[in-house]
Amino acid sequence: SQELEQSPQSLIVQEGKNLTINCTSSKTLYGLYWYKQKYGEGLIFLMMLQKGGEEKSHEKITAKLDEKKQQSSLHITASQPSHAGIYLCGAVSGGSNYKLTFGKGTLLTVNP
């Protein structure tokens, strides 16, 4: 099965600092999803990447998928307390069915 490794497991930054979260797969990614979760709540979709080399941005968050489609990064510019939460990368395995699995997540704390 597809294994997704996220790093770091947790991250504490000062408000205004930039940060990067990484997601690495043991297999080629056919679809890579980034979600954010507040403690005790459901997952909120951030971005989806499908093509090698693809990059998407929304407000201060940028996600990239490398050319080999085995690694993705999520970059936050000028972090704010509202960015705090758990960031999870999810991926779809290949084949005819849509098996969506996730990494263990990165806990982000942004100190004012």
Partner 1 sequence: DAGVIQSPRHEVTEMGQEVTLRCKPISGHDYLFWYRQTMMRGLELLIYFNNNVPIDDSGMPEDRFSAKMPNASFSTLKIQPSEPRDSAVYFCASSLGYTLAFFGQGTRLTVV
Cis peptide before 8 (omega within 30 of 0): yes
Q: Which residues contact 10 (CB under 8 A, 6 or more apart)?
A: 106, 107, 108, 109
Sequence length of the chain is 112
Should residue 33 be labelled a site residue for partner 1 when binding is judged by CB under 8 A? yes
Q: Give the three-state DSSP class for 91.
A: strand
Q: Quick check: 92 binds partner 1 (CB under 8 A)? A: yes
Contact window for partner 1 (CB under 8 A) among 13-21, 55-63, 75-83, 99-107: 99-107
Residue 61 engages partner 1 in binding (rule: CB under 8 A): no
Question: Minimum distance between the CB of residue 35 and partner 1, rounded to whole angstroms?
Answer: 8
Among 19, 23, 88, 108, binds partner 1 (CB under 8 A): 88
